[in-house]
């Protein structure tokens, strides 16, 4: 297995979607290739960092705009509210 082949299989490897035979090939490659170990670990960290992104606050201008849109909609809806 080459480093590129391992990189192609990372998604399924991390998801646990590969069969035992391929997992064994990957484990053997990793035990002998520190570059691929670093590559796989940084792939995992990339996912983790993204999952921890905080939401951006709604800009005050947008909040005002939404309030105006809501008021306008309610007026169109007449006596519903």
Partner 1 sequence: MGLRVFVRLVTMANMEADGKPLSPEEVFRQYAPMVYNLARRMLGNDADAEDVTQDVLLQVVRKLDTFRGESSISTWLHRVTVNAALAHRRKRAHRAEHETHDPLNHFLEDGHHAHSVRPWSIPPDQEILDQETHQLVEKSIAQLPEVYRDVYVLADVQGLPNAEIADMLELSLPAVKSRLHRARLLMRHALAPHFEEVLT
- Residues near partner 1 (CB under 8 A): 2-5, 7-8, 10-12, 35-36, 38-39, 41-59, 61-63, 65-67, 69-70, 73-74, 77, 80-81
Residue 24 or residue 71: which is nearer to partner 1 going by CB? 71
Token pair belonging to 63: 């909040």
**What tokens were used for 35?**
């570059």
Tokens of 11: 């998604």
39 C-beta neighbours (distance < 10 Å), count: 15
Q: How far is the CB of 67 from partner 1 (least distance, A)?
A: 7
The residue among 21 and 57 lying less far from partner 1, judged by its C-beta, is 57
In angstroms, rounded to a whole number, what is the distance separating the alpha carbons of residues 74 and 61? 20
27 vs 38, which CB is nearer to partner 1? 38
């Amino acid at each position: 297995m080459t480093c590129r082949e391992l990189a192609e299989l990372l998604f399924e490897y991390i998801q646990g979607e590969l069969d035992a035979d391929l997992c064994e090939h990957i484990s053997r490659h990793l035990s002998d290739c520190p570059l691929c170990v670093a590559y796989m670990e940084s792939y995992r960290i990339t996912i983790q960092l993204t999952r921890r992104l905080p939401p951006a606050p709604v800009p005050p201008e947008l909040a005002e705009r939404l309030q105006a849109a809501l008021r306008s909609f309610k007026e169109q809806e007449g006596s519903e509210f």
